[in-house]
């Protein structure tokens, strides 16, 4: 199992420090932390797309909070289904302390 993290801020001026601090306990190497500095209106983000190409069955994805993944509930739900069902990877959303395992 490989652990990855995804971090997103909406603008270049916003800082990612709080999100990085929250995932620090997972000791994820920097090369497996993907972050975008753009709106969460859709999932056409370069680093998110790169992450989706890397994640494999049994891997774990850490996201600080669900709103960091995206803004639209239906789009987030579709991505959750893609990650957990098609990629068969686990998902951990820290604010809710929920771990979905579909392995």
The Cα–Cα gap between 11 and 31 comes to 22
63: number of CA atoms within 13 Å, CB side? 25
Query: Is the per-residue pLDDT at 26 higher than 80?
Result: yes
pTM for the structure as a whole: 0.85
Q: Are 44 and 8 in contact (CB under 8 A)?
A: no
Distance CA 39, CA 4 (A): 21
Catalytically annotated residue among 2, 3, 10, 88: 10
pLDDT for residue 96: 45
| Amino acid 9: pLDDT | 95
Task: List the structure tokens of 5.
Answer: 């993290």
Of 3.40.50.1390, 3.60.21.10, 1.10.1740.10, 3.30.70.20, the CATH number of 3-100 is: 3.40.50.1390
CA distance 100 to 93: 9
10 catalytic? Reply is yes
């Amino acid at each position: 199992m490989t652990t990855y993290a995804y971090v997103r801020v909406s603008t270049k001026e916003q800082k990612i420090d709080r999100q990085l601090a929250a995932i620090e306990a997972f000791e994820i190497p920097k090369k497996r932390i993907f972050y975008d500095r753009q709106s969460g209106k859709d999932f056409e983000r370069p680093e998110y797309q790169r992450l989706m190409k890397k994640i494999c069955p049994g891997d774990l994805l850490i996201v600080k909070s669900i709103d960091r993944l995206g803004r639209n509930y239906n789009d987030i739900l579709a991505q959750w289904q893609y990650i957990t069902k098609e990629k068969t990877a686990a998902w951990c959303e820290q604010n809710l302390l929920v771990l979905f395992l579909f392995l």
